[in-house]
Amino acid sequence: MPVHGLNARQWGLVAIVAAGPFVLAFLLGAAAPELLAPVLGTTLGGLSWLLATGLGILGGALFARILAALQRPRIQASPTLRLVGTLGGAGAVVGLCIVPAVVLLLAGPAWATHLDREQLPAPQGLRSLRSNAMDLLGQARRVIPHRLPLSQLLLPGPR
């Protein structure tokens, strides 16, 4: 049966499935405005949300096709087949399109933020704990020598 044979309730379900990621994107933007900066400011963030919306539309088209296939007389005659077909079709659409779309909606801004952060420079030379302690003690001795009498025993230097 062609897709145009669906009734209004079925088209409503298709519209809900297709618009789900798009609506979720608006809800995420309203609930967490800090997510919008990486999405609108970076190519990766914007593409992830655009791809998520496309997956939602693809899921809606797939669901419409599944609902049209469930309109066969043999399936319509059995309530059990109708229920199993509807739940199986919805599960396939959710698993193949909606879940990946939601993952893209959430992961896109995180990826964009992570890639935009500058990497911390690697330390030039790693020194031992003892050499760091001795260096700090030497600096303290130069600043306040009268308060650190033991530092003269530990560090050689001008007296």
- Whether residues 78 and 134 share a domain: the answer is no
- Whether residues 153 and 111 share a domain: the answer is no
Residue 126: is it exposed, middle or buried by C-beta count within 10 angstroms (0-12/13-18/19+)?
A: exposed
- Whether residues 28 and 98 share a domain: the answer is yes
Residue at 135 is within a domain: yes
Residue at 106 is within a domain: yes
At 43-96, the pLDDT tens digits run: 777 888 888 889 999 999 998 898 888 888 888 888 899 889 889 988 999 899
Residue at 123 is within a domain: no
Nearest-angstrom CA–CA distance, 111 and 113: 5
- Whether residues 17 and 93 share a domain: the answer is yes
Residue among 60, 63, 59, 40 at smallest CA distance from 50 = 40
At 86-135, the pLDDT tens digits run: 899 889 998 998 899 888 888 887 777 776 665 545 455 556 667 777 77
